[in-house]
Chain A
Amino acid sequence: MIDSLFNGASWADAWRIIESEFLLATWETIYVTILSTAFAIIIGLPLGVLLVAGEKNGVLPLPAGLMKALNVIVNILRSVPFLILMILVFPLTRLVVGTVVGTPASIVPLVIAAFPFIARLVEGSLREVNPNTIEMAQSLGASPMQIIIRVMIPESVPSLISNGTIAITTILGYSAMSGIIGGGGLGKIAINYGYYRYKYVVMFAAVILLVVLVQVFQSLGTKMAIRSDKRLKH
């Protein structure tokens, strides 16, 4: 593996592949990650809110049985390994996208894997809101929905952004994994050229690009979280 890194021919070969395929692959990785994260947030955010607000002492208590069921579902989805989950959701993927291979098809298992994770992250963020603040809102006559929308979520925005960054970088990693069973993007390139065709230079290049993408998302997210936090004196 290491040998190929010192072989001029393998570099030239790799460069051709990088030139012709990397731009599209990088784009695919980015759009799959962003779309999957967006859909996962659409499901995971309300679910996370329910996990906090629906508790016995929450602002919108829900039946204990329902809360138990929600928690169990989230835990099960969180504990199935992503590769297995992708295969398990094939029927759903076929139903939604029409096929189980290709870049758009990989979005379905990514969303299924990510929304319970995001729900837990949202739950964590909302639990950080000072209970006294919620009590203040109640004392001023706020309804449960008003407390959720005007107090709990806005007050935890910096934490939600930090956790959103964790989510997007994790989903980026999953999207690379989806290359194994037909997903597109940098993951597919790393597996196809590196694992199947021993072109390690290409594989390393793809991995480096993935690392760079994680770095970019992470530093952007951290910056946004800090900028948004009005508790800091800046």
Chain B
Amino acid sequence: MIEIRNLTKTFRSSTEGIEYVEALKNVSITINDGDIFGIIGMSGAGKSTLVRCINMLERPTDGTVLIDGVDLKKLSEKELRAARKNVTMIFQGFNLLMQRTCLKNITFPLELIGTPKAEARRRAMELLELVGLPDKAGAYPAQLSGGQQQRIAIARALATDPKILLCDEATSALDPATTSSILQLIKEINEKTGITVVVITHQMSVVEDICNRVAILDGGVVAEQGDVREVFSHPSSAAGRRLVYPESADNESPIIGGSNQKFLRIVFEGAASANAPLIADMAIDVGVRANIAAASTKQIGDHAYASLVLGVDSYSDLEKALEYLNSKPDVSAKEVHIND
């Protein structure tokens, strides 16, 4: 379990006029064993800083990171190096040793802990098999495609049998097809070994594809966190809505409707409600007339979501509408504030 508590990281700024950059402010996140935990946010939100604080590549200014109850900040350099065998990392740029063969790249972390050569080699061959590149043992990284290089990097990260795998934008340099094959591999490894995975990304689709839980980071602050389905179907923060509904009406005034209208978002989950004339029924059943302010559909995991933003004329209409809609199967509705 990774417990991040009140983590703050302040950098001395190199920009003139600004003395400090607060990359992380009071961040608290709990990541459970076996989670594939997504940390998503815009560029500069502090994602890389956060993940680098987990293995202490970056020393937090304040706050603690507990891994299975151990405060990494209190460890000596030597103990910290030992702890890092359990918390390994893959990177956007793969960071393979270019002068070593793939096999030798995978045995690298084993060399560091003095594993006997033959045993290291055997383990590396196993891992090459696991990542689907058993024939690349003798090849050099330059002879591999980006996706293959990331597979080697994954194998290397797994060599010491870590409990936690940190992925900082691990698929950002790859095309969509390769991205999804790498994500599938990570998911498979998670299912097979129970390894905890922390996935840093700025892409919604990555979180949707493999994560069970997510935290949205915005300007160094956790805007919201929770179950991926919950957060993505009902983002409660402005940052969350910007990510989940990038082109929705939340960020602009609705097409129809006055400025004193109330708004609610309906999310249809699955097919049960898709064929019902829901808005017409609502007008007939409870007498609430609504206008459509925005609409979008989205695939999250293996579920299809449709989302509508409706405008109604009064607070009492809003309450009636929420009650009515939430009573329908596979439909959920919440009030949204357009301008927050």
Contacts and interface: CB of A to CB of B under 8 A. Distances in A.
B81 A136 contact: no
A231 B97 contact: no
Nearest to A156: B99
Contact of B81 (A133, A142, A151): A142
Contacts of B140: 230-231
Interface stretch (B37-45, B104-112, B121-129, B330-338): B104-112
Contact of A151 (B85, B97, B143, B160): B97
Given A155-B98, A231-B142, A132 B93 contact: yes
Interface in B95-148: 95, 97-100, 108-109, 111-113, 140-143
Given A230-B140, A230-B142, A233-B142, A140 B109 contact: yes
Contacts of B85: 140-141
B112 A133 contact: no
Contacts of B97: 133, 151, 154-155
B84 interface: yes
Contacts of A215: none
A18 B85 CA distance: 65
Interface centre among A133, A141, A157, A158 (most CB of B within 10 A): A141
A139 interface: yes
A143 interface: yes
Contact of B99 (A132, A138, A143, A155): A155
B99 A135 contact: no
B93 A143 contact: no
A52 B141 CA distance: 26
A200 B143 CA distance: 54
Contacts of B84: 138-141
B142 A141 contact: no
A154 B99 contact: yes
Nearest to A232: B142
A230 B166 CA distance: 28
B11 to A, nearest CB: 13
Contacts of A158: 99
Nearest to A229: B99
Tell me the dominant secondary structure on chain A's binding face.
Answer: helix
B102 to A, nearest CB: 11
B57 interface: yes
Interface in A186-234: 228-233
A136 B95 contact: yes
A130 interface: yes
B58 to A, nearest CB: 10
Contacts of B57: 135, 138-139
Interface centre among B81, B85, B98, B113 (most CB of A within 10 A): B98
Contact of B55 (A139, A142, A155, A230): A139
A136 B143 CA distance: 20
A132 B108 contact: no
A50 B158 CA distance: 32
A71 interface: no
Interface string B64-95: 00000000000000001111110011010101
Contacts of B160: 140
A99 interface: no
Given A141-B82, A230-B99, A232-B142, A136 B112 contact: no
A150 interface: yes
A135 B85 CA distance: 14
B95 A132 contact: yes
Nearest to A133: B95
A232 to B, nearest CB: 7
A140 B112 contact: yes
Interface string A141-153: 1110010001100
B91 A132 contact: yes
A148 to B, nearest CB: 13
Given A132-B91, A138-B57, A146 B99 contact: no
A230 B95 contact: no
Interface string B166-203: 10000000000000000000000000000000000000
Contact of B95 (A130, A143, A231): A130
B81 A141 contact: yes
Interface centre among A136, A143, A155 (most CB of B within 10 A): A136
Contact of A231 (B91, B98, B113): B98
Nearest to A158: B99
B108 A150 contact: yes
Contacts of B93: 130, 132
Interface of B: 55, 57, 80-85, 88-89, 91, 93, 95, 97-100, 108-109, 111-113, 140-143, 156-157, 160, 166
Given A137-B108, A140-B109, A141-B85, 12 more contacts: A132-B91, A139-B55, A140-B88, A140-B89, A141-B82, A141-B109, A143-B112, A150-B111, A155-B97, A231-B98, A231-B99, A231-B142
Closest 10 CB pairs of A and B: A141-B84, A136-B95, A141-B81, A230-B140, A139-B89, A140-B109, A231-B98, A231-B142, A132-B95, A230-B99
17 contacts: A130-B93, A135-B95, A136-B91, A136-B95, A138-B57, A139-B84, A139-B89, A140-B109, A141-B83, A141-B84, A142-B81, A146-B112, A150-B111, A150-B112, A231-B140, A231-B142, A233-B143
